[in-house]
Structure 1
């Protein structure tokens, strides 16, 4: 650990989950900022945080804060991240990084200009079982990887006013849920060379279900299914010519997996044993990167984050979803 002082920007549910895991890992949470001072004070009292600020501007101006976790709704990510970077703070931006590729590129450019770390909070990539899966893939245990398949399906809400259904808030299954399996496919196979997507659009105009099929280098295929209206298995597979990995539910959280050879022999089993939800691993990685003077993650670099947002833009183009203000 580097002894970085964390600032938490916003006090919603994801901010609670992240801050709880920071405390589990013994990291230093110095300040929290909210648009309502009462909310900031309640949050600070709950997690024993020394400074509570009644605006995001006050938070990023706090001289005791080194790195800011951006936990606002998707459309605010770019504004909040740029604000923090302009005040000399490193940023860990909740996924999806932004609404689109252009916004993600703006953060990348500002971070490079300031010499600061800008990192997407795709916490799944930093979990111990995902670290081990990358090691297995790199070792060639699976042979030539031909297929990656993953789903993220939940029954959340049909209320048009719910954040996940509200286009003005970047609502829809793609950005909230689909980002997980799509980022996983890119992690294993690299960026797609061809993108195909289908969706069912809700009465609110947001994507309730999204299915994607990507073709990657060498002809490997990835498929993903995401839904905010129906709960599925939430499992994933990486299939190679010599063996496959079967990741148990819920695959994007700390879980277990098996490596199964083509003849059906189980050659490795892995089970996650961690404290907390697991969001602390991305924070520990961010602290290491800052200590090393890096401005991009070695697990999910800023260039890859920007490119993935471009893939999501293409998916939205194909399914006909446009957020307010994009035209």
Structure 2
């Protein structure tokens, strides 16, 4: 086995010599320019985001907004946020706010992000970016027109172990990539009141869970040349399980699955003619990466130094881009977000072909 060495402090942990050390974060999240953030939607993901900012960055959340003023105040008190508003408009009217984190259900992303953009605010929009590609295209056009930064909060793209993946691909360590796999399944009790089972909230496995493997495969393979999907529906009429096969222009395959019906390994792999790369579950969080040779020998290993607070990396990237006057991130460019949304539309078209009433999500 290759000798193990200790990588630089913020570079991501213990590294075997055969694998490159992560280059991100560079600089570390705490060194990113500090912005004043507004939060729309004080739910679970917003709580994780604010906790990550407080623990690992110099970013500051100044107001939080909700349709329920008491809910906003409870969230503000919990995290020491100075202002709590009972409307989203008040967040956008706050002169302190540089950038708005859209953390509402993805059924509302388009409306809330467009409000922020038209108010001249930069935006970080939770995944899935919107309900469909049409909404995504309109948001992107609005951001370009207003000259504000806009990015999908696909936090996985900004984690250090994903930089290892990108370097391995760039260096050709795997040879010719032939197969990419990724899955994300969670057991969700079939409760019609849960947002993932609610058609009016754009529920289903695909937009909430499946967006992770779709985005990962898109990062590795690039634009899809072909796509075929199968799936089934829940009792409420949203997608419960989806399996997809895609190809790229070089003929490499991507195989992915998502489900609400059971906990899957949530792993990912990239197999090439020389070696394969394996990412432990949950692959979309800070995870261990292994480089495996043709005879199944371990060639390299990267273990994350930081397991929690991973949302700090996307916030730091947004802050660096805004401070530099950039309107989008090179790590999660808007044209790729749009391609992914179009792929999600095509997947839904495939699996819902026989259920036409589900094709149009509630507006």
TM-score range, shorter chain: over 0.9
Residue 41 of structure 1 aligns to a residue whose secondary structure is helix
Deviates more, 1:274-283 or 1:129-138: 274-283
SS at structure 1 position matched to 2:107: helix
Query: Residues 105-160 of structure 1, C-alpha deviation per residue, up to 9 Å, x if partnerless?
Result: 11100100111111000001111111111111111101110010010011012112
2:270 — aligned with what? 238
Residue 219 of structure 1: SS of its match in structure 2?
coil
The farther-off stretch of 259-268 and 140-149 is 259-268
Local SS of the residue matching 1:75: coil
Deviation at 1:323, TM superposition (A): 3.7
Partner secondary structure for residue 135 of structure 1 = helix
Partner of 1:175: 207
Equivalent of 2:172 in 137, 140, 152: 140
2:40 maps to what in 1? 9
The TM-score with structure 1 as length reference comes to 0.97
Alignment partner, residue 315 of structure 1: 347
Conserved 8 A contact 1:155-1:228: yes
Deviations along 1:31-54, one digit per CA (max 9) or x if unpaired, are 111111111111111111111111
Which of 43, 67, 70 is the equivalent residue of 2:75? 43
**Residue pair 1:247, 1:255 contacting (<8 A) in 2 also:** yes
1:22 and 2:59 equivalent? Answer: no
* 1:139-218 alignment, distance < 5 Å: 139-218=171-250
Aligned length: 326
- Please state if 1:80 is matched with 2:112: yes
SS of the residue aligned with 1:148? strand
Secondary structure in structure 1 of the residue aligned to 2:250: helix
Aligned position for 2:29: none
**Could you tell me the TM-score, scaled by structure 2's length?**
0.88
Deviation of the 1:275 alpha carbon: 5.9
**TM superposition shift of 1:282:** 0.3
- Paired residue for 2:132? 100
Q: Say whether 1:305 aligns with 2:337.
A: yes
Q: Residues 45, 168 of structure 1: CA spacing in aligned structure 2 closer, same or farther, 3 A cutoff?
A: same
Give the stretch that moved more between structures: 221-230 or 268-277: 268-277
SS at the partner of 2:265?
Answer: coil
* Counterpart residue number, 1:324: 361
Within 2, Cα distance between the matches of 1:177 and 1:163? 13
| Aligned residue number for residue 289 of structure 1 | 321
Tell me the CA shift for residue 18 of structure 1: 0.8
Deviates further, 70-79 or 255-264: 255-264
| Distance (whole Å) between structure 2 residues aligned to residue 324 and residue 103 of structure 1 | 12
Aligned-residue CA RMSD in angstroms? 1.1
